[in-house]
């Protein structure tokens, strides 16, 4: 076999698979057909097996599911079709069903007109760099079809949702009962619509469902983890104990307490870590990202818990956790990693970790997060041209340095390109909320002038 050059620049793969606008190369039927074939050819080198395919609820999932299956079949690989399932469920089922790989068709929190392809290894982890490189090299070859007798077959897995519901429940102690709790669950009209409400209901909660009527076009639309203010309104109106908002593919979670306070990933991470400390089950340290609020870092340090920052993205968090043999990490967007439970971010399982703390400590969600003092942090998203980079603008860099000098050691400023959308994210954090807002607005305006 040809030696792989994993350091070669990627043409297709980004930080989390391949993602883009549906119908615009490479997120079109022709490319994804060949992608399925390339994946099949690479996997076939290490023996025959099967590949799982799952998807979220966006309308283009039907098309991409079909062409991926066709491409894999042409390469002689069998496929097991799971239908609409959360991304972390694909990671879990790939491992437990002993598949060679898992494929998730999703653009996560993006609108319906985007889509993407994510891959998982046989162990339920993101594909290693060398496999992604091998797939890209295979894509440069002419597509061929194996002999008819060797074509791959397809099988529909009908019990996938039930398998995953039972797994989610198994990640918390058997003494966890949610009886007496009224919970609003917003599934973002996405992949958890037929799973998440059942998980919490089967554990005893009274569940009020939101975002459980996907039509292919309404995924993430004014609902779910990207729009928690909608959940907040329902929690207050229904006088619920708390609310849980998932995103379109179910790998992130945002929560709302009974008073209407929205809890982001930092606050959820704080609750999970402190509960494990309380139970004597915490080991090692915590991995956050460059976006993690400084207040969380300070709180952890006061408890003598080591804290490490990595670039944005659950891939980086998972890699750092593995390197240090730690279990807990996360980011403000709601990706929480409990690697002793599952190999990737999982919104349902993260929410269950919080509910475990609520049950064991007999406190409300509001009380569980009340001791975390977050620094005022403003995040502004600026739409820019596709290849625009704030690091290449001297004016922007000069402005960043001036803000940093003013904030000193009591604040932070960060400008970064989104890995999934044509956006520059401007983040400013400090003690003075008015000053932070002014600096964020100033930098966002400058980015717009320079890069739009």
pLDDT value of residue 9: 62
Mean pLDDT on 230-246: 98
What is the structure's pLDDT at 3? Answer: 39
Q: What is the three-state SS of the chain?
A: CCCCCCCCCCCCCECCEEEEECCCCCCCHHHHHHHHHHHHHHHHCCCCCEEEEEECCCCHHHHHHHHHHHHHHHCCCEEEEEEECCHHHHHHHHHHCCCCEEEEECCCCCCCCEEEEEEEECCCCECCHHHHHHHHHHHCCCCCCCCHHHCCCEEECCCHHHHHHHHHHHCCCCCCCCCCCEEEEECCCCCCCCCHHHHHHHCCCEEEEECCCCCCCCCCCCCHHHCHHHHHHHHHHHCCCEEEEECCCCCCEEEEECCCCEECHHHHHHHHHHHHHHHCCCCCCEEEECCCCHHHHHHHHHCCCCEEEECCCHHHHHHHHHHHCCCEEECCCCCEEECCCCCCCCHHHHHHHHHHHHHHHCCCHHHHHCCCCCCCEEEEEEECCCCCCHHHCHHHHHHHHHHHHHHHHHCEEEEEECCCCCEEEEEEECCCHHHHHHHHHHHHHHHHHHHC
CB 430 within 8 A of CB 375: yes
Q: Which of 60, 73, 106, 108 is catalytic?
A: 108
Average pLDDT over residues 383-410: 89
**How far is CA 364 from each of CA 135, 201, 238, 263, rounded to the nearest angstrom?**
48, 19, 16, 13
What's the confidence (pLDDT) of residue 420?
A: 73
Average pLDDT of the residues of the chain: 94
Positive or negative torsion for Cα 55, 170, 332, 253: positive
Question: In terms of Cα–Cα distance, which of 273, 338, 272 is closest to 305?
Answer: 273
Output the pLDDT for position 405.
95
Token look-up 């207050």 returns: 236
Q: Is the pLDDT of residue 1 over 60?
A: no
396 CB-side CA count, 13 A: 23
Q: What is the pTM of this model?
A: 0.91
Query: Which residue is listed with tokens 């991926």?
Result: 68
C-alpha neighbours within 13 Å on the C-beta side of residue 262: 18
- Higher per-residue confidence, 421 vs 229: 229
The reported pLDDT for the residue numbered 386 is 66
Residues 389 and 447 sit within 8 Å (Cβ to Cβ): no
Give me 63's structure tokens: 């098309």
What is the per-residue pLDDT for 5?
Answer: 44
Position 4 confidence tier, pLDDT thresholds 50, 70, 90:
very low
Tens-place pLDDT, residues 94-144: 999 999 999 999 999 999 999 999 999 999 998 888 899 999 999 999 999
Q: How far is CA 48 from CA 25, 69, 82, 101, 104, in A?
A: 30, 15, 20, 11, 20
Residue 441: count of CB within 10 angstroms of its CB: 14
Domains of the chain: 18-158 (3.40.120.10), 164-369 (3.40.120.10), 377-451 (3.30.310.50)
Please report, for residues 5, 118, 132, the alpha-carbon distance to residue 135 in angstroms, rounded to integers and kept in the order given: 12, 13, 5
Share of the chain above pLDDT 90, in %: 87
Specify the residue for token string 């008819």. 148
Cα dihedral 85/91/96/99 (nearest 10): 100
Supply angle C-alpha 107, 109, 113, rounded to 5.
55
Q: What is the pLDDT of residues 194-212, one digit of tens each?
A: 999 999 999 999 999 999 9
Q: How far is residue 292's CA from residue 285's CA, in Å, rounded to a whole number? A: 15
Q: Which residues contact 156 (CB under 8 A, 6 or more apart)?
A: 80, 81, 83
Q: For residue 6, what pLDDT band results from cuts at 50, 70 and 90?
A: very low
CA dihedral 300, 302, 307, 309 (to 10 degrees): 80
Q: If pLDDT is split at 50, 70 and 90, which confidence band does 452 have?
A: confident
Q: Specify whether 108 is catalytic.
A: yes
For the stretch 384-397, pLDDT in tens is: 876 778 888 999 99
């Amino acid at each position: 076999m040809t030696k792989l050059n994993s350091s070669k620049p990627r043409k297709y793969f980004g930080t989390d698979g391949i993602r883009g606008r549906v119908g615009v190369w490479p997120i079109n039927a022709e490319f994804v057909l060949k992608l399925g074939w390339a994946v099949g050819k690479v996997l076939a080198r290490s023996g025959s097996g099967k590949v799982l395919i799952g998807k979220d609820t966006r309308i283009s999932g039907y098309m991409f599911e079909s062409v991926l299956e066709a491409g894999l079949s042409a390469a002689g690989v069998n496929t097991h079709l799971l239908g609409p399932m959360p991304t972390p469920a694909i990671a879990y089922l790939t491992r437990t069903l002993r598949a060679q790989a898992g494929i998730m068709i999703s653009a996560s929190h993006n609108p319906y007109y985007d889509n993407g392809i994510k891959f998982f290894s046989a162990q339920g982890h993101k594909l290693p760099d060398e496999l992604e490189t091998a797939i890209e090299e295979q894509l440069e070859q002419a597509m061929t079809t194996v002999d008819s007798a060797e074509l791959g077959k397809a099988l529909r897995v009908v019990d996938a949702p039930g398998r995953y519901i039972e797994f989610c429940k198994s990640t918390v102690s058997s003494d966890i009962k949610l009886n007496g709790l009224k919970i609003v669950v917003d599934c973002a009209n996405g992949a958890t619509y037929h799973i998440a409400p059942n998980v919490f209901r089967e554990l005893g909660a009274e569940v009020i469902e939101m975002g459980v009527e996907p039509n292919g076009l309404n995924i993430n639309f004014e609902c779910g983890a990207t729009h928690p203010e909608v959940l907040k309104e329902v929690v207050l109106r229904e006088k619920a104990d708390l609310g849980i908002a998932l995103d379109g593919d179910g790998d992130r979670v945002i929560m709302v307490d009974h008073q209407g306070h929205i809890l982001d990933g930092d606050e959820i991470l704080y609750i999970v870590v402190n509960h494990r400390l309380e139970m004597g089950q915490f080991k090692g340290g915590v991995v956050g990202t460059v976006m993690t609020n400084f207040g969380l870092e300070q709180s952890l340090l006061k408890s003598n818990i080591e804290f490490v920052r990595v670039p944005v993205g659950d891939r980086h968090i998972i890699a750092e956790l593995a390197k240090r043999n730690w279990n807990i990490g996360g980011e403000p967007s709601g990706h929480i990693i409990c690697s002793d439970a599952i190999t990737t971010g999982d919104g349902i399982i993260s929410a269950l970790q919080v509910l475990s703390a609520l049950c064991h400590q007999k406190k409300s969600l509001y009380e569980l997060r009340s001791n975390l003092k977050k620094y005022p942090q403003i995040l502004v998203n600026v739409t820019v041209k596709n290849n625009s980079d704030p690091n290449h603008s001297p004016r922007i860099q000069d402005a960043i340095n001036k803000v940093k000098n003013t904030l000193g050691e009591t604040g932070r400023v960060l400008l970064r390109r989104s890995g999934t959308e044509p956006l520059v994210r401007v983040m400013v954090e400090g003690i003075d909320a008015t000053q932070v807002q002014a600096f964020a607005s100033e930098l966002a305006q400058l980015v717009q002038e320079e890069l739009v």
